[in-house]
Amino acid sequence: MARKRNFKKGNKKTFGARDDSNAQKNWTELQKENEKWEKYYKELGVIPEDQWDEFKKTCQAQLPLTFRITGSRKHAHEVLSLFEEQHLPNLTNCEFEGEVIKAPTRLPWYPENLAWQLDVSKQVIRKNEQFSKVQRFLVVENAVGNISRQEAVSMIPPIVLDVQPEHAVLDMCAAPGSKTAQLIEALHANEDEPSGFVVANDADHRRSHMLVHQLKRLNSANLVVVNHDAQFFPRVKTDKDSNQFLKFDRVLCDVPCSGDGTMRKNVNVWRDWCTGSGLGLHTVQLNILKRGLNLLKKGGKLVYSTCSMNPIENEAVVAGALRHFGDKIKLLDCQDKLPGLVRSQGISNWPVFDKNYVKKEKGDEGTHETWFPPTSEEAEMFSLDRCIRVYPHQQNTGGFFITVFEKIDGDSDEKPKRAGTEEPKEGLVPEKKQKTETGVAAPAPVKKEKLPRDANEEPFVFLDPKHPELEKCWSFYGIDDKFDKSSCLVRNAAGEPTRVIYYASSSLRNIIEANDDRLKLIYSGVKLFVSQRSDIECSWRIQNEALQIMKHHMNQTRVADVNLECLKMLLMESFPRFEDMENSHIDDNFLSKMKSLSAGCAFVNVNRGEDKESLFMPLWNGSKCVNLMVCKENTQELLHRLFGDEAALKQAAAAKESQKVAASKVEETPIPAAEEAIPTTEN
């Protein structure tokens, strides 16, 4: 996928040097032309002549706002109902400056009606009261992780990959993380504790840390983030005491590309696009795809995708992999998948132009054989028409390319190699190459005896389940033996629980312990226990992000059932006193339970019926008062979702806007008017 444009510090001319808004508008529109791009795609012939004007006009137009609702099935459908019942009716037959505005529409191909598109301008969203109200809803729900603002076509690859809870999944080029989030959600679709896991990799160290920031809100113990060049992703041992290597059930290769499918939101593509970009990236893309197929198990699926429309980056790469692996792999026909998605078939013939737009033939000096289309015999065998092409004008989206592979023969187990070098010995890691858009050649290998580790990166050390501090927690919270107590870890050189104890799924524990000398680990595990006061029975409190797991393993000793009236009081009041609660008679059973417990972390459970998600939240139980331990953003979202508190929604949206403004001032980064208070769209 193409890298999002960076607004660098001090770049004051990003949105035009003059203050005049019309001049800025004209400057932007001027960039939405590229003679070579237009000539190339007309000659390519993938867009019918009678559709060209519509195609180009759509590429020049603003991208609509799209989002998907996330979370467990009950939770997601509750947020969907809130949108459909409280917001959607007000957006139907809505007018702005005398014209009827198009109401939001479902993406018909996205499962369970959980993705939506708003074909309105940012001006309408900012100035129309009804759309402004929806904007606040989207901002707040995005902040707490209930929705993800994501480009529509970017949602396709994880859906066709078909991830199940038991799958081992590799995302080879994961940043910024929107597709990775979909993979994790699929893993947890119906299970809080799936047996599978997701390995999210990115070549760029900075972007791998950004990936952590994006994915932490999913609170998954089944995620590990690593930092490797995807072309040379290392073989992963399944266990420290064996010499078996992991094969993945699912692999996503959403590779770096020239990104002309993103030109609706990235005006720089219009200026920078040339035929040389695709040619330069082709080898890197093919190397990543081949490495992904090597890591795929027999019967597994791999999705190769780009946000480019250029066949040199798409069908040519796919054909190169099919040629390399022969009958060990095949393309799957996905025409029956995603009903409602307007798409075009892949192509088997295309011209090749060099960076100076000179047409080349196979065998010409300076060319690669895999740039060129397959022979007629190969074309019949490869079935490249099974590839999916989505063009911007077909349903008002960006452009995208998607192909699904299946591994027929799992015997191939090639180790990653750099061209012209000896095969790296096991445990020796070549220097990583950052994810780029320019297709620069891979650097010469630099062999290192140990994996590089930044000064602020600590090791992953798993604790003995009988460690005295853990034993306190097991007893205090009544943790059952079904919970994997050997999967608790700390991240400090001493290997002792001092401040935070994390939890990673048992399947990931084996991977982490067996590959300390192979994988550059960036992140794994959710916060399980955090140390607080030392003057109480148990100083460790269970963190919010681990509750979806821990609620299944605790007895009811420190759990109290509460009614909705009591929950509302706990959300609205900080540290309500027992005395005041007793006088108000809000929930006598809850009050009695709290008085009977020792000081420390406890929990409230709100049973809302079979059709709605039960709520399970931590609180602090003191000697004279209690306090619900839910962050302000979540508190305001719950007040709005459960009790219709519109004021809470406004406060939360205003707080997010203030945070954005403050962050932009610190970074000296200009914020375009078109993106104010709108969550960022990711590819």
Spacing of C-alpha 158 from chain mean position: 10
560-593 residues labelled b (16+ CB within 10 A) or e (exposed): bebeeebbbbbbeeeebebeebeeeebbeebbeb
Is 307 part of the annotated catalytic residue set?
Answer: yes
Q: Three-class SS of residue 253?
A: strand
Give the Cβ contact number of residue 244 at 10 Å: 11
Q: Is residue 165 within 8 Å of residue 192, measured between CB atoms?
A: no
The DSSP 8-state label assigned to residue 316 in this structure reads H
CB neighbours of 13 closer than 8 A, spacing ≥ 6?
A: none
103 is in an annotated binding site: no
- Pair of tokens at residue 561: 């059932």
CA distance 564 to 628: 14
Residue in 307, 473, 488, 538 annotated catalytic: 307
CB neighbours of 616 closer than 8 A, spacing ≥ 6?
A: 547, 551, 603, 604, 605, 606
Q: Which amino acid appears at position 105 of this protein?
A: T
Phi and psi, residue 226, nearest 5°: -130, 165
Query: What secondary structure does DSSP assign to 416-432, as a single string?
Result: P--TTSPPPPTT--PPP
179 is in an annotated binding site: yes
In angstroms, how far is the first alpha carbon of the chain from the final one?
Answer: 7
Q: Three-class SS of residue 558?
A: coil
673 is in an annotated binding site: no
CA distance 366 to 384: 26
Q: Which amino acid appears at position 153 of this protein?
A: V
- Pair of tokens at residue 511: 């991977």
652 is in an annotated binding site: no
Q: Three-class SS of residue 343?
A: coil
175 is in an annotated binding site: yes
- Pair of tokens at residue 407: 């591994």
Q: Three-class SS of residue 598?
A: coil
Q: Where are the beta strands (DSSP E) in 558-609?
A: 559-561, 600-606
177 is in an annotated binding site: yes
Which residue is it, tokens 């999913």?
218
Give the Cβ contact number of residue 627 at 10 Å: 15
229 is in an annotated binding site: yes
- Measured CA to CA in angstroms, residue 464 lies from 530, 542, 549, 553, 670 at distances of 17, 19, 20, 19, 50
The DSSP 8-state label assigned to residue 97 in this structure reads T
Phi and psi, residue 85, nearest 5°: -90, -35
192 is in an annotated binding site: no
Q: Comparing C-alpha atoms, which of 147, 433, 431 is closest to residue 288?
A: 433
174 is in an annotated binding site: yes
Element (H, E) at 49: none
- Pair of tokens at residue 91: 């957006």
Q: DSSP 3-state helix, strand, coil percentages of the chain (rounded to 5)?
A: 40, 15, 45
Question: How many helices and strands (H and E) does the chain possess?
Answer: 22, 27
**Beta-bridge partners for 540:** 531
587 is in an annotated binding site: no
For 591-640, the three-class secondary structure string (H helix, E strand, C coil) is HHHHHHCCCEEEEEEECCCCCCCCEEEEEEECCCEEEECCCHHHHHHHHH
Pairing type for strands 521-524 and 223-226 reads: antiparallel
- Measured CA to CA in angstroms, residue 484 lies from 195, 479, 508 at distances of 12, 10, 12
- Feature table: binding site: 173-179, 202, 229, 254
Annotated binding-site residues for S-adenosyl-L-methionine read 173-179, 202, 229, 254
**Looking at the annotation, which residues are catalytic?**
307
